[in-house]
């Protein structure tokens, strides 16, 4: 009896006890792991063949900062069937972003733009033997383009000719009303309603948090006013009513 025949005979004997020792070999390494017969390593939907390939899905994805995605894995066996291998998930930080992932594969992006690599590695069943298979997905974290302005802080404490005690703050938002942390976007304040003159620094650029923080604004005139905040290509926003006293 040659070596292959002996291995097959041993496998048949082991299967009668409900366990098969499978030699796992592919480009990721080799080794023997106990697999539950017909279970694909204790996971649903598996066959009893050798695991040839592990596939991580999605293979690549683009997210906004702090976005999330659920990763899943599938395995291809030598007998043509598929299974869901038991894996561990890890994140290798690339440039700029540092996401996290749960044991169940839920990835949460960092707060800054950049790239991460998510790695799913098959859990081995023999101490000291490297796992057979692994797969990697690249996560690109990028800013969604801003589409609108939104109020963060309303102007308040207005006396004619005197700087507001509470200066307005406006932020950039995307189409889903999420903050866009883009700097350098020019925002201009003007009077939307009311009879008077707006003074102070009426044009500012957004900071690294995507906010236009105004300072020194005042209105000369009395009565009720609203302020408009505009930026080219973005939906404008109007402040709440501001009462200016003499």
pLDDT tens figures, 204-226: 999 999 999 999 999 999 999 99
Cα dist from 142 to 26, 65, 101, 150, 202, whole Å: 35, 7, 18, 21, 30
Say if CB 198 and CB 219 are below 8 A apart.
Answer: yes
pLDDT of residue 16: 36
Query: Over the stretch 30-40, which tens digit does the pLDDT of each residue have?
Result: 333 333 322 33
Q: State if pTM tops 0.85.
A: no
pLDDT of residue 202: 98
pLDDT of residue 244: 97
Can you tell me the mean pLDDT for 145-168? 97
Q: Is the CATH number 2.60.40 carried by domain 18-141?
A: yes
- Long-range contacts at 213-217 (CB < 8 A, ≥ 24 apart): 213/167, 213/169, 214/167, 214/168, 214/169, 214/170, 214/189, 215/167, 216/163, 216/167, 217/155, 217/163, 217/164, 217/167, 217/168, 217/189
Query: Over the stretch 68-118, which tens digit does the pLDDT of each residue have?
Result: 999 999 988 878 888 888 899 999 987 776 899 999 999 999 888 889 999
**Region 148-245: CATH code:** 2.60.40.10
For the chain, the average pLDDT equals 80
Instruction: State the Cα–Cα distance between residues 40 and 61, nearest whole angstrom.
Output: 27
2-6, 53-57, 152-156: segment of lowest average pLDDT? 2-6
> 18-141 and 148-245 share one CATH topology?
yes
Q: What are phi and psi of 4, to 5 degrees?
A: -65, -45
Q: Where are the domains of the chain?
A: 18-141, 148-245
State the pLDDT confidence band at 128, using cuts at 50, 70 and 90. low
């Amino acid at each position: 009896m040659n070596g292959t025949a002996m291995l097959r005979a041993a496998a048949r004997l082991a299967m009668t006890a409900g366990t098969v020792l499978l030699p796992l070999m592919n480009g990721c390494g080799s080794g023997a792991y106990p697999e539950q017969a017909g279970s694909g390593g204790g996971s649903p939907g598996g066959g009893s063949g050798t695991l040839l390939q592990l596939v991580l899905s999605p293979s690549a994805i683009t997210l906004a900062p702090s976005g999330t995605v659920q990763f899943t894995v599938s395995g291809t066996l030598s007998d043509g069937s598929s299974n869901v291998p038991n894996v561990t998930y890890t994140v290798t930080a690339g440039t700029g972003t540092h996401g996290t992932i749960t044991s169940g594969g839920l990835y949460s992006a960092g707060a800054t733009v950049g790239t991460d690599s998510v790695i799913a590695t098959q859990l081995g069943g023999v101490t000291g033997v490297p796992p057979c298979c692994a797969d990697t997905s690249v996560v690109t974290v990028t800013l969604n383009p801003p589409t609108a302005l939104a109020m963060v802080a309303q102007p308040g404490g207005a006396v004619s000719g005197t700087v507001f005690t509470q200066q307005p703050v406006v932020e950039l938002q995307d189409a889903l009303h999420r903050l866009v942390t883009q700097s350098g976007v020019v925002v201009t304040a003007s009077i939307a309603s009311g009879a008077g003159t707006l003074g102070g620094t009426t044009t500012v650029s957004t900071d690294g948090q995507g906010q236009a923080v105004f300072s020194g604004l005042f209105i000369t005139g009395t009565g009720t006013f609203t302020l408009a905040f505009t930026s080219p290509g973005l939906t404008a926003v109007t402040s709440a009513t501001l009462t200016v006293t003499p």
